Structure 1
Amino acid sequence: MPLRCVVLDDYQDAATDLADWSPLKDTVEVVSLLEHLGDEGELAAALATADIVVTLRERVSFPASLFARLPRLKLLIASGMRNTVIDHAAARAHGVTVCGTASSSTPPVELTWALLLGLARGIVEEANSLRDGGPWQQTVGADLHGRTLGLLGLGRIGSRVAQVGLAFGMRVTAWSEHLTKERADEVGVQLAASKEELLTTADFVSVHLALGDRTRGLLGLAELALLKPTAYLINTSRAAIVDQDALLTALHEGRIAGAGLDVFDTEPLPADHPLRTAPRLLATPHLGYVSRANYMTYYGQAVENIQAYLAGSPVRQLP
Structure 2
Amino acid sequence: MTWRCAVLDDYQDIARSMADWSVLAGEVDVRTLRRPFGSEDEVVAAIGDCEIVVAMRERTPFPASLLARLPRLRLLVTSGMRNAAIDLEAAARHGVTVCGTASNTEPPVELTWALILGLARHLVTESTAMRAGGPWQSTLGADLHGRTLGLLGLGKIGTRVARIGQAFGMKVTAWSRNLTAERAAEAGVRLAATKEELLETSDFVSVHLVLSDRTRGLLGADELRRMRPTAHLVNTSRAAIVDQPALLRALRENWIAGAGLDVFDQEPLPAGHPLRTLPNVLALPHLGYVTRRNYEGYFQQAVEDITAFLAGSPIRELD
TM-score tier, shorter chain, comes to over 0.9
Query: Which residue number corresponds to residue 247 of structure 2?
Result: 247
Q: Is the 8 A contact 1:107 1:289 kept in 2?
A: yes
Residue 213 of structure 1: how far off its partner (Å): 1.7
Structure-2-length-normalised TM-score: 0.98
Matches within 5 A, 1:102-251: 102-251=102-251
Residue 29 of structure 1: how far off its partner (Å): 1.5
Query: Which residue number corresponds to residue 268 of structure 2?
Result: 268
Matches within 5 A, 1:2-17: 2-17=2-17
Amino acid at match of 2:81: M
Amino acid at match of 2:52: I
Once the two structures are superposed, what CA deviation does each residue of 1:238-290 show, in whole Å capped at 9, x if it has no partner? 10111111111111111211100011111111112221222300000111111
Residue 67 of structure 1: how far off its partner (Å): 1.5
Mapped partners of 1:20, 1:169: distance in 2: 44
Query: Which residue number corresponds to residue 309 of structure 1?
Result: 309
Amino acid at match of 1:109: V
Compare 280-289 and 208-217 and name the one that shifted more: 208-217
Residue 231 of structure 1: how far off its partner (Å): 0.6
Mapped partners of 2:266, 2:200: distance in 1: 29
Query: Which residue number corresponds to residue 91 of structure 2?
Result: 91
Amino acid at match of 2:260: G
Once the two structures are superposed, what CA deviation does each residue of 1:152-206 show, in whole Å capped at 9, x if it has no partner? 0000110000000001110000011111010000001111111111111101000
Query: Which residue number corresponds to residue 25 of structure 1?
Result: 25
Amino acid at match of 2:286: H
Once the two structures are superposed, what CA deviation does each residue of 1:138-163 show, in whole Å capped at 9, x if it has no partner? 11111111110000000011000000
Give the alignment's Cα RMSD to 1 decimal. Answer: 0.9
Amino acid at match of 1:9: D
Amino acid at match of 1:98: V
Q: 5+ unaligned residues in a row in structure 1: which ranges?
A: none
Amino acid at match of 1:230: T
Query: Which residue number corresponds to residue 318 of structure 1?
Result: 318
Query: Which residue number corresponds to residue 279 of structure 1?
Result: 279
Mapped partners of 1:38, 1:184: distance in 2: 43
Query: Which residue number corresponds to residue 42 of structure 1?
Result: 42
Mapped partners of 2:133, 2:31: distance in 1: 44
Q: Detail structure 1 runs of 4+ shifted over 6 Å in the superposition.
A: none
Amino acid at match of 2:87: D
Q: 5+ unaligned residues in a row in structure 2: which ranges?
A: none
Mapped partners of 2:225, 2:65: distance in 1: 41
Once the two structures are superposed, what CA deviation does each residue of 1:221-240 show, in whole Å capped at 9, x if it has no partner? 11111111111100001101
Query: Which residue number corresponds to residue 257 of structure 1?
Result: 257
Mapped partners of 2:40, 2:254: distance in 1: 39
Residue 2 of structure 1: how far off its partner (Å): 2.4
Q: Is the 8 A contact 1:252 1:279 kept in 2?
A: no
Residue 38 of structure 1: how far off its partner (Å): 3.3
Could you say what secondary structure the match of 2:15 adopts? coil
Mapped partners of 1:108, 1:192: distance in 2: 23
Once the two structures are superposed, what CA deviation does each residue of 1:58-90 show, in whole Å capped at 9, x if it has no partner? 111112221222121111000111111111122
Q: Is the 8 A contact 1:217 1:243 kept in 2?
A: yes
Compare 196-205 and 90-99 and name the one that shifted more: 90-99
Mapped partners of 2:249, 2:93: distance in 1: 44
Q: Is the 8 A contact 1:248 1:278 kept in 2?
A: no
